[in-house]
Structure 1
Amino acid sequence: MDNHFTLNTVEIGDCKEVNRRLPDKSVNLALCSPPYPEKRGDKYPTVSEVDYPTWTARWMDSLVGKLADDGSVVVVIDKHVRNGVMSDFLLLTQLVLRQLGWKQHMTQIWFKHDGLPLGHKWWPHHCYEEILWFSRTTHPFCDPWAAGSPSTNLAVRNYDQSEWTNGEKSEKEGIARMRDVLVVPVGGNAKGVDHPAKYPQALCEALIKTFCPEGGTVLDCFAGSGTTLLAAKATGRNFYGIDVMKKYVDLARRRLEADDSQAA
């Protein structure tokens, strides 16, 4: 019996097991925001900070062979501060993944300019999350112009005492590459969606356009309310969604069905 994961669907289960049913080399981008360690344990399963590196390594290991040769895993995550000291779980996680053969590329930043004033009240306002980028290759797919912005001056200008000094190059119009700081307001989160850890669809769309080719396939191993999957649809990509909790699988399916109805 063919037990392959059906394209453009959401399934319930542990992604380490469900990922095995993905066709080989079928995923161009795994875009996920996994549960943070020891956070919101009353809302969904979580793990300790001590176990987080090993837990992450296990679910990412289940993607080996399922990613396209130039495919990427992109993880939206935040650091923790405990008793005034930055926790090391995220640093250790990155080091473990590198030791297991994952290539780590430049970290992106999600700047939440309208975010709540988080962090210690006597410290600078914490207003960003990290977007970690991994692949199995040194040359993963990336199209930084796909989510870029129009510019009237693409030439390198006004650099002094540098190898980049460009003399008298004229201004040039076109699309500038997307920057590695994505300014996406938290206010862009979908309203009335009952999930404790939403992120804006606009953030997902920018990342999908950049790290997944047109017509490619996006996987979210922690699909939650389905925002990543809606972004994949909106950008013309296929998708697979997985979540361990039935209530969120049902929520994601309802949102996808509603999106289909609006498009009809």
Structure 2
Amino acid sequence: MGSTATGELPTAQEPVRVIEGESLAALREVPSGCVDAVLTAPPYSSGGFTRADRQRDVSVKYQQTGTRRQYPTFSGDARDQRAFGYWCALWLSECLRASKPGAVCGVFTDWRQLGETTNALQAGGWVYRGIVVWHKPGARPIQGRFCSECEYLVWGTNGPRPLSGSPFPGFYSVPVRQRDKHHLTGKPTDLMRALVKVCPPGGLILDCFAGSGTTGVAAALEGRRCLLIEREAPYAQMCRERAAQVIAPAN
């Protein structure tokens, strides 16, 4: 599967398309009012309390000691909190413009950036609806402290959203398994398969920080379409390859 021009949207025959490029610039070329749901995990700019901590290579910040598998690096993860919030508000406002009325937006974050992410969602024009907890069983215990074994999906809507359809859980407990991890901060396919169901069948999901493309894989498996944006070339290629593996058997 090759890259697509920003104006070309996924189709039923080609349900996952990849834009290789910087997210904010690419988002400005996405047509208005075409997206049913936004599900994405921007670089958290986390992994430390000080500027020096945040400036460390992502492989140091996010890869556990003793992990044998090496992942391609990625950029854009060293903003301070004020810059992170302002930047998020910019791309979230573009996601709002590209979304249909009532569309859902879900943004992953960790505990350090949780408050700033809720602010940025609202600054981007979305109606803030709450926080979904993703529990990661098997997190490393730290003596005398609570375990950091949860991440969060801050979610909102593009204006009012009709009260219809089945409810969704506010808590998901899904482990990270090495055979299913393709990115330093990758999310489990099973988790994303559950979350993409917030989009109606056949609808369009936007992931503007696609990483290894798990949102696209999950969308294709669950009968949704997905537009992926990824600026790092190795990961953009991974998105294409993983999507092709899922789509080819179905065709």
TM-score by length of 2: 0.78
- Pick from 216, 221, 225: which aligns with 2:212? 225
In 1: Cα distance, 2:193 partner to 2:164 partner: 14
Q: Would you say how many aligned residue pairs link Structure 1 and Structure 2?
A: 218
- Compute the displacement of 1:248 (Å): 0.5
Tell me which residue corresponds to 1:34: 42
In 2: Cα distance, 1:100 partner to 1:256 partner: 30
- Pick from 79, 103, 120: which aligns with 1:71? 103
CA contact (8 A) 1:72 1:141 kept: no
Tell me which residue corresponds to 1:18: 26
Q: Is 1:6 matched up with 2:9? A: yes
* Partner deviation per Cα, 1:3-31 (whole Å, 9 max, x = no partner): 61332310111111111222221111110
Distance change (3 Å), C-alpha of 1:75 and 1:100: closer
In 2: Cα distance, 1:96 partner to 1:196 partner: 24
Tell me which residue corresponds to 1:109: 133
Tell me which residue corresponds to 2:169: 179
Q: Is 1:255 matched up with 2:245? A: no
Q: Answer 1 or 2: higher relative contact order, Cα 8 Å, separation at least 6.
A: 2
CA contact (8 A) 1:189 1:201 kept: no
CA contact (8 A) 1:72 1:140 kept: no
Unaligned runs of at least 5 residues, structure 1: 81-88, 146-176
* Partner deviation per Cα, 1:161-195 (whole Å, 9 max, x = no partner): xxxxxxxxxxxxxxxx442111212238615x3x2
Distance change (3 Å), C-alpha of 1:208 and 1:107: same
CA contact (8 A) 2:81 2:116 kept: no
Which is higher, the Rg of structure 1 or of structure 2?
A: 1
Which amino acid is 2:126 matched to?
Answer: W
In 2: Cα distance, 1:3 partner to 1:41 partner: 28
- Pick from 117, 139, 145: which aligns with 1:93? 117
TM-score by length of 1: 0.75
SS of the residue corresponding to residue 131 of structure 1 reads: strand
Distance change (3 Å), C-alpha of 1:52 and 1:21: same
Which amino acid is 2:95 matched to?
Answer: L
**Identity, % of aligned positions:** 27
Which amino acid is 1:13 matched to?
Answer: G
In 1: Cα distance, 2:220 partner to 2:169 partner: 23
In 2: Cα distance, 1:66 partner to 1:233 partner: 21
* Partner deviation per Cα, 1:23-80 (whole Å, 9 max, x = no partner): 2211111100111114554621222223111011011111232101111110121113
In 2: Cα distance, 1:219 partner to 1:247 partner: 20
SS of the residue corresponding to residue 204 of structure 1 reads: helix
